[in-house]
Amino acid sequence: MDLPLSDVSRVCAAEFAHTTTYLDTAGAGVLPRSAVAAVRELAEAAGAGLPAGAGDFDLVERVRASFARLVAVDPERVAVGSSVATHVGLIAASLPDGAEVLVPEGDFASVMNPFVLRGGLNVRFVPLESLAEAVRPDTALVALSAVQSADGRTADLPGVRAATAAHGARMLVDATQAAGWLPFDASPYEYTVTGGYKWLLGGRGASYLTVSHEAQPGLVPLHAGWVAAESKWEAVYGPMRQLARDARRFDESAAFLPYYAAQPSLALLERVGVEAVHAHDTALAARYRTGLDRLGHRPVPGDGAIVSVPGLAHRQPALEAAGIRTSARGGALRASFHLYNTEADVDRLLDALDVPAG
């Protein structure tokens, strides 16, 4: 059950210890205290040469299950890895020569580069708003982000899903800028990819691939190691007898430090509830948009947790020097709001923007 909004701030005050006005979750999230403690405990055990320092594969399974619950799929559909680009590269390698891949213009590089660089594919770019209409009978795959990294625009996923279904195309959704604050159901899509170090509050090196049961047979696990076996402890020395029967066949060997961070971070998101996170984050973003309007600035339209203001990228260095963490993307100032942010954070950013640049 989601926490009431009045309890979200109380929980977060106990879990976060950052000392800056941190408004850049779209770049990287802040680790909760419990995640920092888990990473420190593992690192100290490894440094002391203790058995616990070798890491726990059962913890990775708990992370897999927690992520599966957050995106509403069975754990059997979830593979764990190290980066979104690696997951996308696996999908790119599975496509036949000449296949058409449809991608929004300006989407995040990891969503498109593996298709472009593979060679032999017809990668076609169209505006995000025209994506559904651009799907055609010879489209093999549509790859897009649920929320655009650069400016926070939200894709019409149901519309694109209807178009791909009508033309027999598959769909790959990057949920990196969505999962954790935006209620996201991965079940309708053949593939989803999610980096764990932003809204999921983990560290770099944890990422998640979901593959529908129907799509799993056609995806070749090119980087399969012993962890991709049905019985991994019997596959340490190959060749393995049998691949895992589910999406574990697409696993990379997990980097334990970021997965140790992921376990308490995902547990925190489950405890608060994504609906409550969504309400908290979008209320702060709406407060910021209202303040920007008073100051005469026009952000990219939207109602999500990422707010991008064209023409203000030059303010980012001075904000950083003042202890206000934002980011600059494509000439715009990008602020993003998450669990650890407050109305005071929003007002501090607005007050800083109200002072003419020096």
Q: In what order do the strands lie in the sheet with 327-329?
A: 306-310, 332-336, 327-329
Q: Are residues 253 and 294 in the same domain?
A: no
What residue ranges of the chain have pLDDT lower than 50?
none
Nearest to 210 by CA among 85, 76, 36: 76
Within-domain flag for 38: no
The pLDDT mean for the chain works out to: 94
**Which of 237, 270, 303 finishes a domain?**
270
Does residue 337 sit in the same domain as residue 212?
A: no
- Domain at 212, CATH number: 3.40.640.10
Task: Note the pLDDT tens digit of each residue in 115-162.
Answer: 999 999 999 999 999 999 999 999 999 999 999 999 999 999 999 999
> What's the number of domains the chain is made of?
2
Is 192 a member of any domain?
yes
112 and 164 inside one domain:
yes
CA 26 – CA 341 distance, rounded (Å): 13
19 and 66 share one domain: no
Closest CA to 300 of 344, 249, 335, 352: 335
Pairing between strand 207-211 and 191-195?
antiparallel
Check whether residue 264 and residue 285 sit in a common domain.
Answer: no
- In terms of domains, do 24 and 54 share one? no
Asked, for residue 185, whether it belongs to a domain, the answer is: yes
Does residue 37 lie within any of the structural domains? no
In a domain? residue 239: yes
Same domain, 69 and 79: yes
| Alpha carbons 259 and 255: distance in angstroms, whole number | 7
Please check whether residues 201 and 289 belong to one and the same domain: no
Q: What is the DSSP string of 186-201?
A: -TTSSEEEEESSSTT-
- Neighbouring CB atoms inside 10 A of 76's CB total 16
Domain that holds residue 124: 43-270
Q: Among 226, 244, 270, which residue terminates a domain?
A: 270
Q: Return the amino acid letter for 292.
A: L
Are 292 and 245 part of one and the same domain?
no
Strand order in the sheet with 78-81: 78-81, 207-211, 191-195, 170-174, 139-145, 100-104, 122-126
- Report residue 27 as tokens: 């770049």
Per DSSP, 239 falls in state S
Q: Is residue 358 part of a domain?
A: no
Residues 22 and 63 occupy one common structural domain: no
Task: Write down which residue in 220, 254, 270 finishes a domain.
Answer: 270
Find all residues with CB under 8 Å of 195, minimum gap 6, and list them: 83, 84, 176, 204, 206, 207
Closest CA to 13 of 341, 356, 274: 341
* Statement to judge: residues 117 and 225 lie in one domain: yes
Q: How far is CA 160 from CA 87, 103, 109, 183, 224, in A?
A: 21, 11, 20, 18, 31
pLDDT at residue 6, rounded to an integer: 58
One domain, residues 194 and 148: yes
CATH number, domain of 314, equals: 3.90.1150.10
Helix, strand, coil fractions of the chain, as percent rounded to 5: 45, 15, 40
- H or E segment to which residue 135 belongs: none
Please report, as a single letter, which amino acid is at residue 306.
I
Give domain status of residue 197, yes or no.
yes
User: What was the pLDDT predicted at 319?
Assistant: 95
Rounded to two decimals, the pTM is: 0.93
